[in-house]
Chain A
Amino acid sequence: MSLEPQELAELKTKIGREPTSTEIQIVAAEWSEHCSYKSSKKHLKMLPMTGPLVISEKGYDSGVLDVGDGYVVTAHIESHNHPSAVEPYGGAATGVGGVIRDILSAGTRPIAIFDGLRFGNIEKDKHARWLFKNAVTGIADYGNCLGIPTIGGEVEFDECYSNYALVDVAAVGFGKKENLIKNHAKKGDLVVLMGGSTGRDGIGGSQFASDSLESEDRSAVQIPDPFIEKLIIEAILEARNQNLINALKDLGGGGLSCAVSETADTLGIGIEMDVDKVHTREPGMHPDEIMVSESQERMLIITNKEKLKKLEEICKKFRISCSVIGHVTSGNLMHVKKGSQTFANISTDIVANATLLDRPSKKPEYLAAIQQEKKLKPILDYNKTIMKLISSPNIASKIWVYGQYDHEVGIRTVVKPGQDASVLRLDNGKFLSVKIDGNPKHCYINPREGAIGCFEEACRNVVCTGATPIGMLDHLQFGNPQNPEIFWTFLESLKGLTDFAKYFKIPCIGGKVSLYNETPSGPIKPTPLIGVLGLIDKKPLIPQKIESGDFLILIGNTKDELGGSEYYEYVHKFVGGNCPIVDFKESKRNMSAILDIINDDLAKNAHDCSKGGLAVAISELCMSNLLGCDISVEGIPGEKLNIDKILFSESHSRYLITAEKKNLKKIEGILQKSNTPYKIIGIFNGKKIQFKKGKKSIIDLSVDKAQKAWLNSLRELVMHG
């Protein structure tokens, strides 16, 4: 885990001499894929990153959106895949810790956590079950202790994650615009390291994460301490209130190497530091280790002599360590000393800016064949199919997961987990709706359309709460970028996301690229994960109790799009077919019709159709309300399709609305006026979920039985496997 030979040669040329061992360690950490984005950076520029609400300041690790009345929302997403695959509890927990510090470093208080978790097939694979269970506990123990609610996310299982784990964590912060930290520094300012001690954990973590996972390098995994993180949050916010922070950066991948070089490079300053001043967990640590340790719960602060005393008082109150490790110099050198001996003295411009690569790409061979449909065995009993799907790990209720997360603390959670998107109240009377979505099954069959689908699904979810999308976070997770076929899937996904973002004018406010997600058995499926933030000015649609006699309306076209569906893959074990494709115009029209219906207060619930298609989406409404529904599938909007496609196609841009009879006319008025395809397909009543085509009964299922299976199957599987 060091520099490639050609990188070492490049470093020598750039500095005009032999680098010291410390310099090599620093540069290796900073030039790793994880820290430098060297494969992706050139291409990421295509995403739109500005907009009327976006606030850009130098040195922020999170995106900032102006939500009006002097308030801002910050957001960021990170993953901790490699560490979680080795040590799921600590890996997942420190994943939460890292993204929280990104939010904190803008000077905002973290107010919500979201997690996207992906593992192998937990029905067969005990190791995957162990990873899943411990990652959930790691997130719960960390987030709960911080008192930051984990209010949303998703969990998915797929063979492509066998012996591996994707642990993605997003966080949202909130604060006053005037309290944002405006990073600045001048010669003579002091460089302070605050928080946990620097130890021998997480050594070389960023290089570890920039290679395929072949060994279990436990020393590269960091150790979590949420109590210290909580103290840091309060101490930093108190210091911010007293204006004691000139510049702030969290220590994440690459540890001090990365934090010091990037801060100096961004602010156009030099930094001289002494490793002897760093508070360490154990004696005898070598400067190289100190510089690349990824010990958690540490923040780098630039302050000045006048402010230092007050800062130290705050740290004393919270009993957290704070060391002056150096000072700001003119020029642009990062000078690392131990006492009077120099260990590194190198331009931060060289350290912080790895040479960007232009990797070759090539359309993967497998794609030509995989989009073919296949004749499948006919279904004889749809009741059994539905029961199988709603009990499947990917579709079953995730209450076993979010029931372990404190999702109420902070008293902002208006729409709780388990719904389409989660909604938080803000101090200016507005509401923030957030959802993260991924879909590797779709992305594998069609990397471009699959990625767009994830983006649209996240938008649909926030729209279902009455929110208008205002910002996007992307987390692009792929295998080894040196493989041109993998790199092609990365580029295709990115292009798709860019097109959608531009068409809908949703700026990308932050993101992360995670490559080398591979084990000896191969790469993961392309797994872009998209987070969408939506703003609600007046009032959110909080899902209401559906009563007997309420109506069910389907909005949007159902198409011949079963490729990558749960129905094909879970029921028929068939990977392939037509991947759902988002029609941008239809998507926009349907979104605005739904928002009109919600804003006029006409709907009791809005729910999107996604995994498992129409049959599962309707069942979810019934099961959540323990109420039956009579559904007619004749004449639903879209092309003429066979019953399998009607029930299980995962076409995008579709919504279900429930409403009282008195509001039907007005709803129809809105839909007709905008030419939005719809059909009133059901009436809620009784205790049975019944799908009929004409007089023929297709599904006739006890909602009670269905609900039990849906709520309990995931817990049963984890506990008793």
Chain B
Amino acid sequence: MKVGVIVFPGSNCDRDMYHVLRDVFHLNAEYFWHEKGLPKNLDAVILPGGFSYGDRLRAGVIAAHSPVIEDVRKMAEKGIPILGVCNGFQILVESGLLPGVLLKNTSLNFMCQWTNLIVENNTTPFTNQFRLHQKIPIPIANGEGRYYVDDDTLKKLKKKNQIVFRYDKVINGSSDRIAGVCNESGNVVGMMPHPERAVEPVINPIDSKPSSLIFESLLNTMGVTQ
């Protein structure tokens, strides 16, 4: 079982994600530089957070044109679980693998704070261990985290159960308080908050168990028992 962590120039949560996959969940994780092709035997792919290309032009837009994205697209079509966190979510949106866009927060500031998510879809490879509407205390850290879709797309997202996470209250002006979405088949998930920052009790001031379920869902999907 192998999970690929994609590294773009300037990625800065890649090492955090790698640590969590390897040292906390004992998964076989490997870094893949953005210019490298992905091997066919990967069981899941994670696009970590943190300022690819310095977030110039618009967060995620340059990385979305990296060579590795074509391989990610192929894997998405094959139904392999793919998770984009924060900048990874922005890249998935910019590359068209997920619907919507991410705009500047309504505060116009970078926001780093703990917040609560509500699980709205517990059937994806990253949420299948949650109860529906379960609460997750988790930190956000972004400047462009306001998820936006037009009304028609929002209706479609609701109908096809593509809203995966909502914030429990309005924090940044996201459409319908959306914090994470999936594609129609449900195997590609993007979320703005950082689960890798919330799974270890020593750095989680509230409760690390709910965020851990995101990774435990992946283990469950891949058939790994711990």
Binds A, one of B48-56, B65-73, B158-166: B48-56
Q: How many residues of B contact A (CB 8 A)?
A: 31
Binds B, one of A177-185, A224-232, A470-478: A224-232
Select A319's contact among B9, B12, B111, B197, beta carbons within 8 Å: B9
B193-209 vs A, Cβ < 8 Å mask (1 yes, 0 no) = 01011001011010000
B111-139 vs A, Cβ < 8 Å mask (1 yes, 0 no) = 11100000000000000000000000001
With A and B bound together, what is the CA distance between A141 and B51 in angstroms? 10
Structural contact, A403 and B111, CB atoms closer than 8 A: yes
Chain A residue nearest in CB terms to B141: A406
Select A416's contact among B51, B200, B205, beta carbons within 8 Å: B205
- Contacting B at CB under 8 A, from A356-410, are 402-410
Select A144's contact among B11, B141, B200, B203, beta carbons within 8 Å: B141
Structural contact, A147 and B112, CB atoms closer than 8 A: no
Min CB–CB distance B172 → chain A (angstroms): 12
Which residues of A are found within 8 Å of B33, using beta-carbon distances? 317
Structural contact, B139 and A227, CB atoms closer than 8 A: no
Which residues of B are found within 8 Å of A402, using beta-carbon distances? 112
With A and B bound together, what is the CA distance between A141 and B139 in angstroms? 18
Structural contact, A409 and B200, CB atoms closer than 8 A: no
With A and B bound together, what is the CA distance between A318 and B16 in angstroms? 20
The verdict on B106 contacting chain A, using a C-beta distance below 8 Å, is no
The verdict on A277 contacting chain B, using a C-beta distance below 8 Å, is no
- Contacting A at CB under 8 A, from B94-122, are 109-113
Select B13's contact among A147, A318, A407, A542, beta carbons within 8 Å: A147
Structural contact, A409 and B16, CB atoms closer than 8 A: yes
With A and B bound together, what is the CA distance between A404 and B196 in angstroms? 20
With A and B bound together, what is the CA distance between A659 and B153 in angstroms? 53
Which residues of A are found within 8 Å of B197, using beta-carbon distances? 408-409, 411
With A and B bound together, what is the CA distance between A145 and B54 in angstroms? 6
Structural contact, B200 and A145, CB atoms closer than 8 A: no
B1-40 vs A, Cβ < 8 Å mask (1 yes, 0 no) = 0000000011111011001100000000000010000000
Select B12's contact among A140, A147, A412, A425, beta carbons within 8 Å: A147
The verdict on A414 contacting chain B, using a C-beta distance below 8 Å, is yes
Select A407's contact among B11, B54, B112, B200, beta carbons within 8 Å: B112
With A and B bound together, what is the CA distance between A145 and B19 in angstroms? 20
Which residues of B are found within 8 Å of A319, using beta-carbon distances? 9
Structural contact, B112 and A405, CB atoms closer than 8 A: yes
Known: A145-B51, A406-B112, A425-B202. A230 touches B12 (CB 8 A): yes
Structural contact, A230 and B110, CB atoms closer than 8 A: no
The verdict on A209 contacting chain B, using a C-beta distance below 8 Å, is no
Known: A227-B54, A230-B12. A404 touches B200 (CB 8 A): no
The verdict on A413 contacting chain B, using a C-beta distance below 8 Å, is yes
Min CB–CB distance B78 → chain A (angstroms): 29
The verdict on A146 contacting chain B, using a C-beta distance below 8 Å, is yes
Min CB–CB distance A539 → chain B (angstroms): 9
Structural contact, A411 and B54, CB atoms closer than 8 A: no
Structural contact, A411 and B203, CB atoms closer than 8 A: yes
Which residues of B are found within 8 Å of A542, using beta-carbon distances? 205
Min CB–CB distance A541 → chain B (angstroms): 13
Which residues of B are found within 8 Å of A147, using beta-carbon distances? 11-13, 50-51
Chain A residue nearest in CB terms to B143: A144
Min CB–CB distance B11 → chain A (angstroms): 8
With A and B bound together, what is the CA distance between A479 and B15 in angstroms? 44
Min CB–CB distance B126 → chain A (angstroms): 19
Which residues of B are found within 8 Å of A408, using beta-carbon distances? 112, 139, 141, 194, 197, 203
- Contacting B at CB under 8 A, from A412-466, are 412-414, 416, 425
With A and B bound together, what is the CA distance between A318 and B34 in angstroms? 11
Chain A residue nearest in CB terms to B33: A317
Min CB–CB distance A264 → chain B (angstroms): 33
With A and B bound together, what is the CA distance between A61 and B197 in angstroms? 31
Structural contact, B202 and A144, CB atoms closer than 8 A: no
With A and B bound together, what is the CA distance between A410 and B13 in angstroms? 7
With A and B bound together, what is the CA distance between A230 and B50 in angstroms? 11
Which residues of B are found within 8 Å of A225, using beta-carbon distances? 54
Min CB–CB distance A236 → chain B (angstroms): 15
With A and B bound together, what is the CA distance between A144 and B202 in angstroms? 22
With A and B bound together, what is the CA distance between A374 and B194 in angstroms? 54
Which residues of B are found within 8 Å of A144, using beta-carbon distances? 51, 110, 141, 143
Which residues of A are found within 8 Å of B202, using beta-carbon distances? 414, 425
With A and B bound together, what is the CA distance between A402 and B197 in angstroms? 17
With A and B bound together, what is the CA distance between A344 and B112 in angstroms? 50
With A and B bound together, what is the CA distance between A701 and B163 in angstroms? 44
Which residues of A are found within 8 Å of B109, using beta-carbon distances? 137, 140, 403-404
**By CB atoms of chain B within 10 A, which of A226, A408, A410, A413 has the most?**
A408
With A and B bound together, what is the CA distance between A411 and B197 in angstroms? 6
Structural contact, A411 and B19, CB atoms closer than 8 A: yes
With A and B bound together, what is the CA distance between A146 and B15 in angstroms? 13
Min CB–CB distance A440 → chain B (angstroms): 28
Which residues of B are found within 8 Å of A231, using beta-carbon distances? 9-10
- Contacting A at CB under 8 A, from B181-220, are 194, 196-197, 200, 202-203, 205
Min CB–CB distance A145 → chain B (angstroms): 5
Which residues of B are found within 8 Å of A403, using beta-carbon distances? 109, 111-113
Min CB–CB distance A401 → chain B (angstroms): 10
Min CB–CB distance A28 → chain B (angstroms): 34
Which residues of B are found within 8 Å of A145, using beta-carbon distances? 10, 12, 51, 54-55
**By CB atoms of chain A within 10 A, which of B11, B194, B200, B203 has the most?**
B203
With A and B bound together, what is the CA distance between A227 and B9 in angstroms? 8
Structural contact, B16 and A404, CB atoms closer than 8 A: no
Which residues of A are found within 8 Å of B50, using beta-carbon distances? 147, 409
With A and B bound together, what is the CA distance between A406 and B50 in angstroms? 10
With A and B bound together, what is the CA distance between A267 and B13 in angstroms? 37
Which residues of A are found within 8 Å of B19, using beta-carbon distances? 411
Which residues of B are found within 8 Å of A411, using beta-carbon distances? 16, 19-20, 196-197, 200, 203
Structural contact, A146 and B205, CB atoms closer than 8 A: no
A306-325 vs B, Cβ < 8 Å mask (1 yes, 0 no) = 00000000000111000000
Chain B residue nearest in CB terms to A150: B112
Min CB–CB distance B138 → chain A (angstroms): 10
With A and B bound together, what is the CA distance between A612 and B9 in angstroms? 46
With A and B bound together, what is the CA distance between A4 and B200 in angstroms? 59
Which residues of B are found within 8 Å of A413, using beta-carbon distances? 203
Structural contact, B16 and A406, CB atoms closer than 8 A: no
With A and B bound together, what is the CA distance between A231 and B12 in angstroms? 10
With A and B bound together, what is the CA distance between A47 and B143 in angstroms? 43
Structural contact, B13 and A140, CB atoms closer than 8 A: no
With A and B bound together, what is the CA distance between A5 and B112 in angstroms? 52
Chain B residue nearest in CB terms to A318: B9
Select A404's contact among B13, B53, B111, B194, beta carbons within 8 Å: B111
With A and B bound together, what is the CA distance between A411 and B143 in angstroms? 19
With A and B bound together, what is the CA distance between A414 and B203 in angstroms? 5
Chain A residue nearest in CB terms to B51: A145
Which residues of A are found within 8 Å of B139, using beta-carbon distances? 408
Chain B residue nearest in CB terms to A431: B202
Which residues of A are found within 8 Å of B194, using beta-carbon distances? 408
With A and B bound together, what is the CA distance between A408 and B194 in angstroms? 10
Min CB–CB distance B216 → chain A (angstroms): 18
Structural contact, A412 and B113, CB atoms closer than 8 A: no
- Contacting B at CB under 8 A, from A554-589, are none
Interface residues of B (CB under 8 A from A): 9-13, 15-16, 19-20, 33, 50-51, 53-56, 109-113, 139, 141, 143, 194, 196-197, 200, 202-203, 205
Known: A144-B51, A409-B13; 13 extra A-B contacts, CB below 8 A, are A144-B110, A145-B10, A147-B51, A225-B54, A227-B9, A227-B56, A230-B12, A403-B112, A404-B111, A407-B112, A408-B141, A411-B16, A425-B203
10 A-B pairs with CB atoms under 8 Å apart are A145-B10, A145-B55, A147-B13, A230-B10, A231-B9, A319-B9, A406-B112, A408-B139, A409-B13, A411-B16
Top 8 closest pairs, chain A to chain B, by CB:
A147-B12, A227-B54, A406-B141, A411-B16, A145-B51, A404-B110, A408-B197, A406-B112
Interface residues of A (CB under 8 A from B): 137, 140-141, 144-147, 225-227, 230-231, 317-319, 402-414, 416, 425, 542
